[in-house]
Structure 1
Amino acid sequence: MKVPVEFENIIADVEKRHEPLPSHYFQTELMKARTALGKDLDADLNAGAFAELVAWTLTTEAWGFEPWHSYFGPFGSWISIDGKKAFAPAVDQVDEAIFQHWASRVSQFRHPGLQARYADLCWELARTVGNAKPDFRHAVAAVDAYLEGVSSGLVTEFHEQIASASRALDIARQIRDNERAEAAIVMLLQLHDKAVAGEGWWWKTYDRLIADKALTDDRRAYLAQSLEGLAADYADTASAEKFDPFQLENVSERLQAYYNRVGSRPDVVRLQETVGRAFEHTAGLGDNLRASSMLQSAENAYLDAGKQEDAKRARIARIKAIEVSREEMQSFETTQTITMEEMDAFVSTMVTDDPLHTFTRIANQFVPEVAQIEAQIKKGGEDGEGSIMNFIPIAIMAKDHQAAMLGGVEDDLDGRVIHHAQQNVQWTSPYLHRALQAAIEKHELNPYAVTGFAERSGLFEDSSFLLEGVGAWFAHDHMKAIHVLVPQVERALRTITGKLGEPVTRKHPAMLDREIAIGMGEIFGNKVVKDILGADLTLYFKLIYSDPRGLNLRNSIAHGTLERGMINAVISDLLIHSLLVLGLWDQLADHRKKKAGGG
C-alpha cells in the first residue's frame, strides 16, 4: 500500500513543527484530505489512505464495545439494510497489511503523539487484526511516548494528560514494568494534585489510581486526604462559591468506599452526616418543590449513617415541603375537540347487534398495546417530538410524598410506557364513556347484564359485591362504585393467580403463625401470572390499580390516600371496563399475545 502524498504532508508537518497536537486533529485533517482526493484513487493509494484513517479515527477506551472489546474501537455502528452490523470506520476491512503499515510507523517519528498512537495500536491490536504476538517493544514505545507527551508539554489539554498517563500505567502494568509504572503513577499523582486544586476531573485521577492494586497504602491514604480537603470545601455553607452538596455527595461516596476498605466506620458515618446536613441546608435555599428533593437526599444520608432522629426531622420537613409545593404548582390544560361525526363513527365500530360482541369489542379496544406505545415513545424521540422530556427525570408527587420517579427513556422504558399509557387514558376516556352509554342504549342493558358478563370467567365467588358496584355506576354514584369495585378486581386477579397453581397467601411479616392474602404487587411480581396475562394485560392492570407511576387505585384506596378529585366518571368507567376485560381475560390475553407475536 502507498500513503497519498497529501496524507504524508499532514503527518510530516506535525512532526516538523513538534508542537502540541490538538484533539482530533488528524481525524479532521485526514478526512478533509480524503474527501478532496475523490473516489478515483488507485488500489494502493486507497489502501494507504484507509490505513491512516483507521489509525486516527478509532476511538479509545472502547473495552465494552464491539467488535474488538479493546482499548481501541470504532466511533460508530449501525445495523445495515441486510441486518448486519456495520462500523465506522469499516473495521472488518482492517487486516494484517494495515497492521504491518502501523508497525512501520512506530520508530519513524519523534513526536510523542505520533509515536504513542502507532505503537499503542500495534500493541493493543496485534492479535485482533495483525494475527501476531504483541511485541514488547511496542508496549515500551507507547508508554514512553505517552509519558513524554505530558512531561514535554506537547499534550496540553488536561483531560488528555490524564488519559495519556492512565494509558501509560495500564500498559506498564500489562508488561510488568515497575519502573515505568512508577513513573506513570507519579505523573497521575501530580495531575491529581492539580485537579484537586481546581483544574477539574479529580475523579478521573482518583478512580484510576485507587483502582491500581499495586498502589501503596500510603498513597491511598494521601488520595483520601486530598478528597477530604475537597469535601470540606464543598460542605462549607458559608461560602456560596465553594458549597455544593452534589459534589460533596460525589466525593463522599469515594471516601466512604475507602474508609469501609480500611475499616474506619466512624469516618463513614461522619461523611454521611455531612452530606445529610448539606442537603438539608440546600433545602432552605430554594422553592418547596426543590426542597422536597433535597430533603429526600438528606433523609437517605441520615438513614445510611444510622441517625434516625435526623432522618425523621428531614422526612417531616419534606412532607411539609411537598404539601406546600402543591399550592405552588401551575396547572396546564389541553383541549381535545371531538366532533359528533367522529364519535358516531367510532361508536359504530364498537356497538353491534350482539351485546356479547359489543362487550368484547369494548374490552379489547381500551386495553393498551405495549409494543405500540414503545414504538410511539421511541419515534417521538427520533422525530424530536418531546425529545427533551424523554431524557429529563419526572417526579410524580402525591399529597405528602414523592410517589414515583420516571427515568429517561433509555434507562426507564417501562416507566415511560406506564406514564404514556396513563396519558392515553385521559385522551380515550370520552370514547370509552360514549361506547358504554351507547351499548346500554342499544341493548337496554342493566347492572345484571354487566355483572353477568364479568362472571363468565368464574373469578367472583360472590356477585353481590359486583352487582352493588355496577348498580352504583349506573346510578352515577362514583364514590360507591369505585370503593366497592376496586377490591373486587383485586380479588379476581388473586383468583387467576390461584387457578394457575400459584400461592395466593403468604406469611404475616410480624406474626409468623398467621397468613395473609397477597396483594397486587405480589401478583404482578409473579412471572407465571405475567406470562399468562401477557404484556398488554399486565400493563393494563398495573396502570390502573397498582403502579405509583399510573393511577394506582388499589393502593390509594387501601391506604386511604385517594383524593376527592379521583372520584369521577372517568375512573368508574375504567372499573366497568376492567370487569368486561375480566369476563374474557384468558381469550383476550391469548389474542393479544398472538398479535404481538405476529399471529
Structure 2
Amino acid sequence: MLERGRAVHSRALDLLAQSASMMLEASSINEPFKAYFQDFRAGRRSALPDDFAEEELIFFEDIVNEISEPLLKARLADLLWLLRKPKNPEHAKIAIDSYISQPIDDEAWLRGLNDCWERAARLCLQTRDFDRLEKIKARLFSAFCSECPRTKFMSLWLADLLDKLKIDNDFKEDIASSLGEKASDLKKNGDFHAARSYFELAAKKYRQCSDDNGWLESLVAIAQCFELEADSRSSGSNMVANSFYENAIQSYRKIPTKHREVYGVEERIRVIRDKIAVSGKASLEEMGFVSTPGIDISDMVEQSIEHVSGKQSAEEALMYFTGLFGGPEYEKHSESAKEILKKSFLSSLFGSSHMSSDGRVIAKTPAMNLRAGEDDPANQAALHRQVQQQFSIEIQIVVEGQIMPALRQLLMEHRFTKEIMVAACHYSPIVPQGRESMLGHALWLGFEYEFGLAIHLLCPQVEHIVRSQLKGIGAHTSNIDKEGIENENGLSSLMELPEALNLYGKDLVFEMKSVFTDSLGFNLRNEVAHGLLDDDSSLSIQSVYAWWMVLRLVMRSIMIGSPNRQ
C-alpha cells in the first residue's frame, strides 16, 4: 500500500500487524499480552499494549465490528477492554464471543486455541458474565466427554483447563472418575508416562470431591507407574531405571502416614530401595565421560464493592481497598473467647491435639485447670486456642465477604501493573532499600490471583522488614552460640521481643504471629520455610489474607508515615 501511495491504508495495516504480533498470556489478568521479542541489550522490543495511542484505539473501536476474522477481532476487542477508559463491557463480550467462535480441535489446541478459551473464560469471570461462562463450561465439558483418538492427552488438557479456571464444580466428580478410568487403561497398556499425568490430575480432583479413597488410590497408582516404568527401563538403562525408582519412593511418601499401612507403603518402599541399590551399582558400568459455616454476607459483599468502586485512579482505589478492614482486635477476641469457654464447660475438661493434613501432630493444648485462675499456663493455653479459632473465623469472613469481592471490582475498573506496586514499595517507609522490586513483584502477584507464589516471596520479606525495624530501635535481633558464631533470629523469636510489642502494639503483634508464626494459627512463615504448602493450601484464605495484610501495611505506611528506612 505504501508503494502505491496509499499511506493511510499502509498505516492501518501496520497498526493491525502490531496488534496481532503480541503473544497472548491467557493466565494474566492485568498483562495478558507480551512482546513477541525483546532485545534487552539493544533496548528494542516488539509492540506492547501501552504503545497504542488514544487515536489508534479509537480507530480499533471504529472497525472492530466490521472484522470477520475471529482471532483479529478478538485481539482488537481485548485491547479495547484492557486499555479504554472507562471500561466498556461490550468490548469484553466481543472478545469472548470471538475467542470461542472456533471449534475445539486437538490439532489446534496447542497452537494457541487453549489460550483463546482460557482468556475468554477469564474475561467472563472478570466481567461477571455468567451466561457466557456457562456456555464455555458446557462446551469444554462436552469436548472432554468426547472421544479423541488422535490425541491421548486431549481429555487431560481440557480437564486441566477447567480445573485451572475453577469452573468445574458442577461436574468435578464425573471428571475425576473419567480421568481415573483413562489412567487405568493407559497403565494396563504400558503407557506409564501418560497414565501418571492422568492419575495426578485425577488425584487432585478426587481430593476436591473429598473422595479419600479415589485420592489415595490415585497416589498409589502414580507410584506404581514409576516403579513399573523403572522395571521396564532396567533392561535398556539402569541409570534411567534408577531415577524412576527414586521417583516411585517420593510418590509413595506423598501418601499420608496414617494411610500407609492400609496400602503397604512401607513394604513397597523397602522393596524399591533394594531395586535402587541394584540399579545404582549397575549404572556405574553404563556411565561415560561427558563434556557437560455458612452465614449471609451478601450485605458485606455489596458494601465492600461500593467502598472501592468509582475511584479515579488505581492508586486511589488501592488506598480504599486496604481500608476495608483495620486488622483484628486482640482484646475483643480474648473477651469473646472467655465467654465461649465459660459456656463450653465440657470441652474445657479435655485437652486437644492439632494435626496437619497428613496426620502429624503439630501442637497440643492441655485441659483447663478449673482450680486455678486465668493466669494459669493451662488456662492461658486453652484461651489462646479459642482466640485463634475466633481469629480464623473472622479472617474467613473478611476474605470472602470483603477482600475478594472488592478485588474483583478493582480488576473490573483498573489495571494494576508491577510498576505501580514497585512504586508503592519505593514510597513506603517500612520497605527497606533494595527490596522495593522484590516486594512489589510479590504484591503484584496477588492482583494476578497468584497468591501461592506471592506468599512464598512475602514471608521472608516480612521477616526482613521486622528485623530491620527492630534493629532501628536498638533491639538485639541475633544470638551468639557456644562457638561464638552470631546467628540471626527467625520471625518467631523476633515477634517475642518486648521491643516488638512496643513498636507494633498488641493488635498487630497478635496478627503477625497468628498469620506467620503461631502453630495454632496460619503459621505461614514456617509452612513456607519447610516446603509444606501444596498448590491448594498456598491458594487458601490464609494466603489471600496474608497477601492483603502486607499490602495494607505498605499502603497505610505511605499515608501515616513511619521512621526512616533502615
TM-score, normalization by structure 2: 0.45
Higher Rg: 1
TM-score, normalization by structure 1: 0.43
Using CA pairs below 8 Å that are at least 6 residues apart, which structure has the higher relative contact order?
2
